[in-house]
Amino acid sequence: MNRLDDWLLRLRELLAPLFLAGALAAGAAGTVLVGPEHSDATEIQVAAFNIQVFGQTKRGNAEVMDVLVQTARQFDILAVQEVRDASETTADFFLDRINAGANLTYAMVEGPRLGRTSSKEQYVIYYVPAVVTLLSSFTLDDPDDLFEREPLAAVFQAGGFDFILVVCHIKPDAAEAELQALAAAVPRLLAQAPGEQDLVLMGDFNADGSYLNEDELPDIFAAPFQIVISDTLVTTTRTQNTYDRIILADGGASAEYVAGSAAVFLFDQEFGLTDPDFVRTVSDHYPVYANFNIDLGDDDP
C-alpha cells in the first residue's frame, strides 16, 4: 500500500466521529443495540458477513438496515462481502448508520470492485479503532486470474495480538479450485507482513452443498490450518448448509484463538425476528465469528 493509501485510511479514521448523526431509531427487533462492551476487554470478536446484494435497494429498506446496523455493532471487526453498488456509496452509507448513536466509533477499509462480469462486488471491513489498529491492507495479486473476486487482506493489531485478516467470497461453481488457490496463496499473504504468522481466513467459501463436498475441505486446508466453523453449523437462512467458514493458521490457531468460541450469529433469533421472508430479505447468510485473546503477548518469532 502506498503513502496515499495510508493517508486516506488515516483520514477516514479521523473523520469517522463526524459521521455521528443522532440515535438510531428502534428497528425490526424493537431494540437499539449500541455495541459490545469493551472496557477491560481481554478478547476481540471478529466476524464475516455476506450481506446478499448489498446496494442501494437494500440500504433503502429501513427495517433491513436496522437489523444490519444492530448486527454490525456486535463485533470489533466485521468483514462484509457482496457489496454491489456502482456508485460506491453503500460502504460509507453503512458506516454512517453504524456510527449513528454507537457507543464506539467504527472505521472501515474497502477493497476495489471485483468480478469478471458487469456484476462486481466489494469487500469492506468495519472495525473499532479504539480496540484494534489497522496497520495495512492490500488486495491479493492474482496474475493467473484464479479468483473471481481476489481476497482482501488487512493487518490488524489489538493488544498483544497482531494478525492478517483475509476475507474472500469464493465463486460457487469454482469452489474447489478457488479454495485450493486460497490455501496455496497463504505464503504470499504472509509475505506481505514480514514476521507475521497469525492469519485468519474468513468469508462465504461456498464450502458445502452442490458446490463442494464438505468432506474435502480438511484435505484442502490440512494442518497447520484449523477449520473452526465446523460442518455441524448452519450459516445460511435458506438452506442447512455451511457455506461460510473461518480457518486459522499457525499462531492464530494455537494461541490467541479462544477454543470453542467460533459460532454463527443467528440475527433472527437474537433480535426476535419471526417472519422468514423478512429474514431472507436481510440476507441469505448469517454472520460467522470467533473470539481471540489480546492479552497473551505476541507469539510471532
Q: Reduce the DSSP state of residue 182 to 3 states and report it.
A: helix
Grid coordinates in use for 251? 499462531
Residues 6+ apart with CB under 8 A from 137: 1, 5, 9, 109, 111, 125, 152, 153, 154, 155
69 and 22 Cβ atoms separated by less than 8 Å: no
Check if 88 is active-site. no
What b/e string do you get for 287-297 counting C-beta neighbours within 10 Å, with b at 16 or more?
bbbbbbbbeee
* Kind plus residue range of the DSSP H or E element containing 232: none
What are the angstrom distances between the C-alpha of 211 and each of 52, 142, 161, 171?
A: 18, 22, 34, 9
Residues 6+ apart with CB under 8 A from 103: 34, 35
| Candidate list 121, 148, 178, 256, residue with the active-site label | 121
Check if 38 is active-site. no
| Candidate list 148, 169, 256, 285, residue with the active-site label | 169
DSSP assignment letter at 193: S
164 and 193 Cβ atoms separated by less than 8 Å: yes
What are the angstrom distances between the C-alpha of 222 and each of 190, 227, 253?
A: 17, 9, 13
Grid coordinates in use for 85? 453498488
* Kind plus residue range of the DSSP H or E element containing 222: none
DSSP characters over 95-133: HHHHHTT-SS--EEEE---B-SSS--BEEEEEE-TTT-E
User: Which positions are annotated as active-site residues?
Assistant: 121, 169
